[in-house]
Amino acid sequence: MKKFEIELKWASVYTAISIAWVYLEKYLGYHDEHVSSQAIFSFWLMVPQILVYVLAIREKRERYYKGEITWQKAFISGVVLSAVIGGLSPASVYTMVELVTPEFFSNIVEVRAAQGIPREGLEQIYNLNSYISQAIFNNLGSGVFFSAIIALVLKNKKP
Q: Is residue 159 part of a domain?
A: no
In a domain, 57, yes or no: yes
Per-residue pLDDT at 137 = 97
Asked whether residue 136 is assigned to any structural domain, the reply reads yes
> Within a domain: residue 68?
yes
pLDDT value, residue 28: 97
Distance between CA atoms of 101 and 137, rounded to whole angstroms? 22
134 domain residue, yes or no = yes
Residue 2's pLDDT is what?
A: 85
Distance, in Å, from the CA atom of 60 to the CA atom of 62, rounded to the nearest integer, reads 6
3-class DSSP string for 1-62: CHHHHHHHHHHHHHHHHHHHHHHHHHHCCCCCCCHHHHHHHHHCCHHHHHHHHHHHHHHHHH
The CA-based dihedral angle spanning residues 51, 44, 140, 149, taken in that order and rounded to the nearest 10 degrees: -50
Domain assignment present for 147: yes
What pLDDT, on a 0 to 100 scale, did the predictor assign at position 60? 98
- Tally of structural domains, the chain: 1
Structure pTM? 0.93
Q: Which domain holds residue 67?
A: 2-154
Distance CA 15, CA 83 (A): 12
Residue 25 domain-assigned?
yes
Q: Can you tell me whether residue 82 is helix, strand or coil?
A: helix
Whether 64 is covered by a domain: the verdict is yes
> What are the mean pLDDT values of the chain's consecutive 10-residue runs (159 residues total)?
93 98 96 94 97 98 96 98 98 94 95 95 96 97 98 89
Quick one: pLDDT at residue 158? 76
Q: What is the pLDDT of residue 153?
A: 97
Taking each helix axis from N to C terminus, what angle separates 71-94 and 5-27, rounded to the nearest 10 degrees? 40
